[in-house]
Structure 1
Amino acid sequence: MEAPADQTSSKHIVLVHGACVGGWAWFKVATRLRDAGHRVSTPDLAASGVDPRPLREVPTFFDYTKPLLDLLESLPPGEKVVLVGHSLGGVNIALACELFPEKVAAAVFLSAFMPDHRSSPAYVLEKVHHDRLLRICNSRLDVRGTKKTSTYTSISISLLICTTDECFARSKKFVEGGTLDWMDTEFKPQDPEGKLPTAMQFGPLVTRAKFLQLCSPEDLMLGRSLMRVGSMFVEDLRLQPPYTEARYGSVRRVFIVLKDDNAIVEGFQRWMVQNYPVDEVKEIDGADHMALFSTPAEVAHCLADIAVKYAA
């Protein structure tokens, strides 16, 4: 990407990472955007990246999102940013739009979970959760029905996409490969008091096969080395009311489809767009789930185009 001729085209782009990683995951994309003259922020969410807190000190999704919310709250009056969420980061930017719609020029979902304004924020997450996993979260049982208290449980089951509601049933034809196999991901069920979220840690097999299958060996090693224990916060999000049409729904939204994503498959990405239509859909070919690593130039180009168009 070439630098712009003047700084009038410079935009403030906030890049929000997904579960178990941190702001570091955007290093290739952020470098390209900065080289093009944009201002870029890559906050670490709570218990992520270099944030010192352990997950046990982050009981709710709001707590997890607080660093992003603090960043938006600190913006000067009248300044608007382009918010970009990857993977679980889509729910973080949706919450940010709900709380600070006046500070967001556009919300960009990069193969990210995108809530609607009719259902709880957990709705799209639960679409890719098999009821056995939800039962583990709710009852603190492992897949064999054994009570678990403190150790991780390795789960190697397919998490089937639910088809219980009419809207999803109509969209079933768009869902390709409608399972998400967590392979060697380890889960630690919610604590007996229900105060801590279900924790998860990605293993080397799922990282290679589902998230970084098109990345270089060096990027794979980097990702594996820097990943931390994280959570999807499904239990907490299930209890939250829907984000509102008047606030979250008022922000312009763009969805970027990653066509070779093995984690959030293309069909499910397109279902989310059908479930909650956006202003624009872009596509990137040859991009796995961690397109931040595998196709950073294409991601940066998309984001720069979006920033110029929506943050005029």
Structure 2
Amino acid sequence: MMALQWRWTVVTLSVMLLLVSIHLQEGEGRQQHFVLIHGLGHVAWCWYKIVTLLKQKGHRVAALDLTSNGINRAASTDQVNSIAHYAEPLLEYIRNLGNNEKVTLVGHSLAGCPLSYAMELYPSKITKAIFVAAFTPRNNQSFLSSANPKSFARLVENGVLVLNVKADSELPTSASLVLDHVKSYLYNESPDEDANLAQSLLTPTPFPVSVEFLKLSEERYESIRRFYIMLMKDRLFPPEYQEYSIAQNPPEKIFKMHASDHSPFFSQPQQLCNLLVHIATL
């Protein structure tokens, strides 16, 4: 009798595990709609591996150039003086979604600001927001004020980041990554071919978007589920600085990519793709 009961228990557990596995596979098999936003210096091209992997899995995906970056030359870098202007390609994309369409937003690094701005404006169109080593400003914070004060001072002092100032401007108009340092700070775990490609395509980023204070409400911005992906071999924005930003505005859940530098779309594309799909289906 005991042997029979044991066999039935084993069979029951096996069936339950099979059903759970099928359920998870079905969940992750549903088509998701991702919108990928680049960080400082980068543009839509940086996501090329992730776009390919997501599409191979049957998902919809858009990688966007923000204003003055990449092929979006609606304005020059020095002409962009607000987050609204900088984020306009993202806002336009969301506005043009169908009545029942929703997206998962993915933002890398500086993209935490335009991401948060869009979340406040269009909460009903966004299912989740995923911050990839990104800054997570809360209400009445800017990109810079949400960061550990040492973050940018360190990069400027080490010659990794240069602030560009025009003669008639009190504040810097843009910020540029110094090409001599990008391999060791941004692509220390990435393939050489990707690092070389990036060095030929990096562009300045409008500086005013980093000091503008955001208005983020509990009813709109905070109604969207937020997730964070930490990059544990990041030298540009090291884990301790990521933790500082996370503590300012904690997400629902934190994931860690232990082998990734600041550019997981190059160094660990398959793992990043899998994580994005997993989070989108939670």
Give the TM-score normalised by the residue count of structure 1.
Answer: 0.76
Residue of structure 2 in register with 1:300 after alignment: 273
TM superposition outliers: structure 1 runs of 4+ over 6 Å: 4-8
Find the aligned partners of 2:82 and 2:266 in 1 and give their Cα distance: 29
> Does the C-alpha gap of structure 1 residues 37 and 7 become closer, same or farther in structure 2, counting only changes over 3 Å?
farther
Find the aligned partners of 2:243 and 2:50 in 1 and give their Cα distance: 24
1:211 to 186, 200, 203: 186
Residue 40, structure 1, aligned to residue 61, structure 2? yes
Deviation at 1:183, TM superposition (A): 1.9
Find the aligned partners of 1:54 and 1:119 in 2 and give their Cα distance: 26
Deviation by residue 1:24-43 (Cα, 9 ceiling, x = unmatched) = 10001111011011000101
Residue 227, structure 1, aligned to residue 227, structure 2? no
Number of residue pairs aligned between Structure 1 and Structure 2:
257
> Does the C-alpha gap of structure 1 residues 223 and 120 become closer, same or farther in structure 2, counting only changes over 3 Å?
closer
User: In structure 2, what residue type is equivalent to 1:228?
Assistant: T
Residue 22, structure 1, aligned to residue 43, structure 2? yes
Deviation by residue 1:75-95 (Cα, 9 ceiling, x = unmatched) = 111211000000001111100
Deviation at 1:185, TM superposition (A): 3.2
Residue of structure 1 in register with 2:90 after alignment: 68
Deviation by residue 1:175-211 (Cα, 9 ceiling, x = unmatched) = xxxx7754253321255355x8531221222211211
> Does the C-alpha gap of structure 1 residues 182 and 37 become closer, same or farther in structure 2, counting only changes over 3 Å?
farther
Report which stretch shifted further, 252-261 or 111-120: 111-120
Deviation at 1:117, TM superposition (A): 2.4
Residue of structure 2 in register with 1:51 after alignment: 72
> Does the C-alpha gap of structure 1 residues 224 and 247 become closer, same or farther in structure 2, counting only changes over 3 Å?
same
> Does the C-alpha gap of structure 1 residues 39 and 241 become closer, same or farther in structure 2, counting only changes over 3 Å?
closer
Residue 79, structure 1, aligned to residue 101, structure 2? yes
1:23-172 to 2 correspondence within 5 Å? 23-52=44-73, 53-125=75-147, 127-128=149-150, 159=153
Larger Rg: 2
> Does the C-alpha gap of structure 1 residues 25 and 87 become closer, same or farther in structure 2, counting only changes over 3 Å?
same
Find the aligned partners of 1:230 and 1:115 in 2 and give their Cα distance: 18
User: Tell me, what secondary structure is at the counterpart of 1:124?
Assistant: coil
User: In structure 2, what residue type is equivalent to 1:42?
Assistant: A
User: In structure 2, what residue type is equivalent to 1:70?
Assistant: E
User: In structure 1, what residue type is equivalent to 2:276?
Assistant: L
Find the aligned partners of 1:59 and 1:277 in 2 and give their Cα distance: 28
Report which stretch shifted further, 266-275 or 81-90: 266-275
Q: Which has the higher helix share?
A: 2
Residue of structure 1 in register with 2:162 after alignment: 186
Deviation by residue 1:31-67 (Cα, 9 ceiling, x = unmatched) = 1011011000101101111112321232222111100
Residue 247, structure 1, aligned to residue 268, structure 2? no
Find the aligned partners of 1:58 and 1:87 in 2 and give their Cα distance: 19
Find the aligned partners of 1:127 and 1:243 in 2 and give their Cα distance: 22
Find the aligned partners of 2:157 and 2:261 in 1 and give their Cα distance: 16
User: Tell me, what secondary structure is at the counterpart of 1:88?
Assistant: helix
User: In structure 1, what residue type is equivalent to 2:248?
Assistant: N
Q: Is the 8 A contact 1:109 1:256 kept in 2?
A: yes
Find the aligned partners of 1:197 and 1:41 in 2 and give their Cα distance: 31
1:201 to 169, 176, 194: 176
1:289 to 262, 277, 281: 262
Q: Is the 8 A contact 1:128 1:180 kept in 2?
A: no
Q: Is the 8 A contact 2:151 2:237 kept in 1?
A: no
Residue of structure 2 in register with 1:169 after alignment: none
Find the aligned partners of 1:187 and 1:80 in 2 and give their Cα distance: 37
Q: Is the 8 A contact 1:125 1:234 kept in 2?
A: no
Q: Is the 8 A contact 2:83 2:117 kept in 1?
A: no
Q: Is the 8 A contact 1:122 1:234 kept in 2?
A: no
> Does the C-alpha gap of structure 1 residues 197 and 58 become closer, same or farther in structure 2, counting only changes over 3 Å?
farther
Residue of structure 2 in register with 1:272 after alignment: 245
User: In structure 2, what residue type is equivalent to 1:36?
Assistant: K
- Percent identical across equivalent pairs? 28
Deviation by residue 1:11-31 (Cα, 9 ceiling, x = unmatched) = 100000001211110001111
